[in-house]
Amino acid sequence: MALIEIDDLHVTFDAKGRHVHAVRGVSLAVAARASYGLVGESGSGKSTILRAICGMAPVTGGEIRIDGRAIPARRDRAFARRVQMVFQDPYASLHPRHTIDRTLGEPLRIHGVARGTERGRRILRALEDVGLDPAFRFRFPHQLSGGQRQRVAIARALMLEPEILLLDEPTSALDASVQAEALNLLSRLRAERGLTFLMVSHDLAVIDHMCDRLTVMKEGRAVEALDHAQLARHDMKADYTRELFAATTERIAAAE
């Protein structure tokens, strides 16, 4: 059975009397320990799906289930221990006035786990796991580079040892060279900890590198679902997917 199941999801934002139907009946299923990609251009509703899972977007229809059970309307602490998210912009997702130590320790404090010296050990281990020097522990985010910040954000998401990690364009704000490092870090952590990824990107190359299955989205609808092998064989049915794929290969060719 799939770990995350989304059934006919609708999300409608109410912006000053205007209804914006951001997600229009998307269904997908992510198996445990799989890595699933959502790809599409900006405004296609892919990030909204992640936000809907976290309770940050108004779900107006359909159902989201984790482990076969509908997730509670109020995302509680038990939910926080299973599902965590890494945000797109590492410059906005870390509290500017908290040290890295405080940022990483806060989840432990909220859940009352690992008190005293054990908390310090957990924080140091988390830094080590994402490849950051222990010297970073008491720095402030503004003393770190974008790539380092995103490592901290990944470490924070993993502090509670969740099984599901939602990744909202985790590398799009980073330089190309740092992007690859961050993606490899995520792949390694997934392999080590048996995590389940649901990853959003506008970059088909990133999704192709990271994910076993993917759904192509356009204007709030799922255009096509593919697995890795189909993508490799260029075995796609929808024209839009083909366009997207062609655009990506052209860009990679141009870069090389």
Residues that bind another protein (CB under 8 A): 54, 56, 75-77, 79-81, 84-85, 87-89, 92-99, 101-102, 106-107, 110-111, 133, 135-136, 138-140, 142-143, 153, 156, 159-160
Taking the complex as a whole, how short is the minimal distance between the CB of residue 155 and another protein, in angstroms? 12
Which residue lies nearer to another protein by CB, 106 or 203? 106
CA distances to 150, 184, 221 from 32, rounded to whole Å, are 25, 20, 24
Tokens of 217: 């989205």
**149 or 213, CB closer to another protein?**
149
**Between residues 77 and 237, which has the closer beta carbon with respect to another protein?**
77
Token pair of 4, please?
């995350």
Report, in Å, the least distance between residue 166 CB and another protein: 9
CB 54 within 8 A of CB 198: no
Cβ nearer to another protein, comparing 112 with 233: 112
Find all residues with CB under 8 Å of 30, minimum gap 6, and list them. 2, 3, 4, 5, 36, 196, 198, 213
Spatial strand order of the sheet with 18-31 comes to 18-31, 2-15, 59-66, 69-70
At closest approach, how far in Å is the CB of 8 from another protein? Answer: 24
**Residue 54 C-beta: closest distance to another protein, Å:** 6
Quickly list DSSP for 110-153: HHT-S-THHHHHHHHHHHHHTT--GGGTT--GGGS-HHHHHHHH
- Closest to another protein by CB, 122 vs 218, is 122
| In the complex, minimum distance from the CB of residue 165 to another protein, in angstroms, rounded to a whole number | 12
